[in-house]
Chains A and B, each alone.
Chain A
Amino acid sequence: MSGSTNVVAMKKVVQQLRLEAGINRVKVSQAAADLQQFCLQNAQQDPLLTGMSSSNNPFRPQKVCSFL
């Protein structure tokens, strides 16, 4: 009966919402502080932030010096 499948589907929606409603939430100010800290702690190791010399750059063709 299409009626009872609607009820079954609806019960699943309720069950899912109950699950999602039940989680603990951390304050946004705390979450923001943690995200900031992570970025700042890892900033020095982020090559796209710090840049790199051409000798360290894997995508830049090496200029070859030869002795004449």
Chain B
Amino acid sequence: MAAEKAEMDALKKECDGLRAQIEAARKAVNDGSMSAAASGVASVGRVQLKLRKTLKGHLAKIYAMHWSADSRQMVSASQDGKLLIWDCFTGNKLVAVPLKSAWVMSVAFAPSGNLVASGGLDNICTVYNIKAASPKTLRELDAHTGYLSCCRFLSDTEILTASGDTTCCLWDLETGKQKVIFTNHIGDCMSLALSPDMNTFISGACDSLAKLWDLREGACKQTFSGHTSDINAISFFQSGNAIITGSDDCQCKMYDLRSDQEVICYQDASLNAGVTSLALSSSGRLIFAGYDDFNCHIWDSLKGEKVGVLSGHDNRVSCTGVPDDGMGVCTGSWDSFLKLWN
């Protein structure tokens, strides 16, 4: 027992040493702030987007939405037990997918447009073929021991999931089996995002950490700290070199992957609501962040300033998304509506 205690003490000391080493290495490259560097960049001015459409159809809180790669169709998920697929140009509903479990927390559109996936408190990620005459369940991915908080397709044959069981998982849709399990978080995983080059992904969790993972090896490559509460939303900057997180601590942060540290914090003394969701405009200059205060606030990603707000929802904004062509923003809310702005 004494030998084991000695070994634990030695390991703890090594941990502390390594943590100090990492902090020192980060400090050593911290030779200037992002916002100071952006002082020479022209301001974007006040960003005033107009409400173009309100999509009505869900009968309960909307928890998630995801744009199709065609930038026209969009899928939304509500705890009324339905997924709705919308044509956002006309505002028409194209497909309604009834869910086995109404407690949905996440929804995703496959890049091909052929499949959608959803999951939630049932711990299962269900994949549907929406091109069939009526939506057909293709797979039920059942192995997580906690709720499904987020899912994203890599293709029609692979999907990534994040779970309240603290793991993320890469699944093979042809076999329905887990390919890679990503373990390292010590809190519920709440959100994930794929890198533009599809070699890595990032996850945000209730342990207030964001982690970068190698998709094929399964290894956690980098860990980003700084938030003081659950990270609910996470996204890659389009260059692939930075990530943005949104948290219950009412802040958004940008972490640069190559500097391995936080480079900007988006916070405002008047904002006392948690961040639920976020999306970037196509150049990365604007961050659209949904908050519990019923608004989606717009941030200048380089200068760290609030530059606008999308107001109109009567309850928490639970999901936000910008389509690949960058032509607008969609916000979804607990008020059961989705709104399109540009």
Contacts and interface: CB of A to CB of B under 8 A. Distances in A.
B219 to A, nearest CB: 7
A31 B237 CA distance: 12
A46 B326 contact: yes
B161 interface: no
B278 to A, nearest CB: 14
A43 B326 CA distance: 11
Contact of B328 (A10, A28, A36, A58): A58
B241 A10 contact: no
A47 B182 CA distance: 37
Contacts, number: 176
A19 B260 CA distance: 13
A7 B89 contact: no
Interface stretch (B19-27, B120-128, B133-141): B19-27
Contacts of B198: none
B269 interface: no
A35 to B, nearest CB: 6
Contacts of A10: 8, 11-12, 15
Interface string A24-64: 01111111111110111111011111001000011110000
A23 B222 contact: yes
A21 B41 CA distance: 33
Contact of A49 (B28, B222, B281): B281
Interface stretch (B152-160, B228-236, B283-291): B283-291
A13 to B, nearest CB: 6
A26 B283 contact: no
B342 A48 contact: yes
Interface stretch (B30-38, B61-69, B102-110, B312-320): B30-38
25 contacts: A3-B1, A10-B11, A14-B18, A19-B219, A20-B222, A23-B222, A25-B28, A26-B258, A28-B256, A31-B256, A32-B34, A35-B256, A35-B301, A38-B237, A38-B284, A39-B41, A39-B301, A46-B283, A46-B285, A48-B281, A48-B329, A48-B342, A58-B88, A59-B89, A59-B328
Pairs A-B, 9 closest by C-beta atoms: A42-B283, A46-B283, A17-B18, A59-B52, A26-B258, A32-B37, A31-B256, A29-B32, A48-B281
Given A25-B28, A39-B301, 15 more contacts: A10-B11, A11-B11, A16-B184, A17-B15, A17-B22, A20-B220, A30-B258, A35-B237, A38-B237, A39-B283, A42-B238, A45-B326, A46-B326, A48-B327, A49-B281
